[in-house]
Homo-oligomer: A and B are copies of this chain.
């Protein structure tokens, strides 16, 4: 059997272009003992893919190698099982996207093992790439554990119309908080206000983020959920109330940058106001996944969560999907439908 994959053809400099990807048809190996063959049905497009394309080792995620397939979260159906506990047709979540077929070792290390998922009308398989994914867990633990959200906190969320932000806004609103969201277009601000109920919105393309946040939060903020870094982080440090908390979640504004990122020039605010900045990756809070999914499934079934999707059809469009996501034009989760 043959299937297609996307390989890394070259390390991008700055924003990726289609020439750094190569669509390759390969022979799909048969699964060995303890392995599954899975036909991927949906794959997730994530900004962290850009970091892994750089060819630079980091503590974050291992880099992709030239001439080898990219990877990322995917869901699919078992087409051949040589492992106990998995039958043909079972839906699974796994980290080998960017290909039509994946061979997965059931007892693989870390998060490389396929995970059986509970699929029904309210939670189709692709929901495990969206609201029920590690990205969803990022929103949840970022607010509740990392930023230690407390009753009455005023919350500022950057990248609020992105995959992490959308759910973070809604979790904060469902708990009754005053929420300020930033995004990069009028369409996104409309979405944040009209669909998610953001109390204030700001478009960072409209001017200086510090001045915009001063207007949006005249009395200051208590929590900042940082999805972008850069000038947003500086604005938040300026507006923070005493003992405020900042959850540092990725820094998408720096993913396309080569060389060192510029740090916040006003970090002294953290001293003067007793601010806590705490970085995190969702996997550091893996133990909370079950509680998170349980709460989210209930909210999804009750129709209380808005989660728009941007769907690209076919593996050959995956590079385009990633480039589009990094351009920041989309609202919601970017997915590629494979089968």
**A: which residues have CB within 8 A of B?**
58-60, 229, 242-243, 248-251, 254, 260-281, 284
Checking B60, B267, B269, B271 against A272 with a beta-carbon cut-off of 8 angstroms, the contacting residue is B60
Contact B272 A277 (CB under 8 A): no
What is the bound-complex CA distance between A243 and B283, given in angstroms?
Answer: 13
- A284 to chain B: closest residue by CB: B274
User: Distance in Å from the Cβ of A69 to the closest Cβ of chain B?
Assistant: 23
- Chain B residues near A243: list those with CB within 8 A: 284
User: Distance in Å from the Cβ of A236 to the closest Cβ of chain B?
Assistant: 13
What is the bound-complex CA distance between A260 and B58, given in angstroms?
Answer: 29
Say how many copies of this protein the assembly contains.
2
What is the bound-complex CA distance between A250 and B274, given in angstroms?
Answer: 11
- Chain B residues near A262: list those with CB within 8 A: 262-263, 265
What is the bound-complex CA distance between A312 and B79, given in angstroms?
Answer: 83
- A271 to chain B: closest residue by CB: B279
- A280 to chain B: closest residue by CB: B274
Contact B269 A279 (CB under 8 A): yes
- Chain B residues near A273: list those with CB within 8 A: 59, 279
* Given A265-B260, A266-B260, A281 contacting B271 (CB threshold 8 A): yes
10 chain-A/chain-B pairs, Cβ below 8 angstroms: A59-B269, A59-B272, A59-B273, A260-B266, A262-B263, A271-B279, A271-B281, A273-B279, A274-B279, A274-B280
